Amino acid sequence: MTGTKSVMHCSKVNCDAVFVVWFSVSDPPRNVSVFVTDSGQLFSDSVSLMCIIDSNPPALSFSWFKENQSSAVGSGQSFSAVQSGRFYCEAHNPHGAQRSDAVTVTVHQHAERNIIITATSVGVLIIIIVVIIFAIHFKRKSRRSAGKESANSDTYAGLDLQSATSDLYNTLTTVHHRPAENSCSTLDPQSSSEHHNPPINRRRLQ
């Protein structure tokens, strides 16, 4: 602070004062949110949550709650949820408190994980068995069709062979009977002459 003496004001002193004032704005926690740190894990016994805030002064304490429950289930800026459900955090500082929106957490316990793994394995095994059964059935059906075609072909071939054999037998039989008659005529000339030359009546000649 500085001052000057003035004669015009009967020895009164005028002073000019300059003060630097610092303002500090404090408010309760703002923009409170929950961040799921390991949401990418498919199977886990717990899910880690973190409370994110923007406040001045910083939050002094954190409380974690599960929806539809009045008592806190955890404390601290980070929290590990071991059960599935909807969770939210509440941040506190000297000027107040604010809570975040609830987030859904899914935790796969050992039993649930084993059930899921078993169900998945059984499903894959059933699919493999069904595929194998269809493949075997298709192969058997193909073999049966091929066998039927082969049997039909053999039947037709047998019928053709039987017909050809019958025709050949008839031909040979016909050829065999004709020469037999001619040979008999040749071997018995007397019979042949009697047949061609009728007997002469000797009484008329006498």
What does the pLDDT look like over 182-196, one tens digit per residue?
Answer: 544 444 555 444 444
Q: What are the pLDDT digits (tens) for 52-111?
A: 988 888 889 999 999 988 899 999 999 998 888 999 999 999 888 999 999 998 887 665
What CATH architecture does domain 30-108 belong to?
A: Sandwich (2.60)
C-beta of residue 3 within 8 angstroms of C-beta of residue 15: yes
How many Cβ atoms sit within 10 Å of the Cβ of residue 86?
14
The verdict on whether omega for the bond into residue 57 sits within 30 degrees of 0, i.e. cis, is yes
In terms of pTM, does the model score above 0.75? no
| Domain range summary for the chain, segments of one domain joined by + | 30-108, 110-153
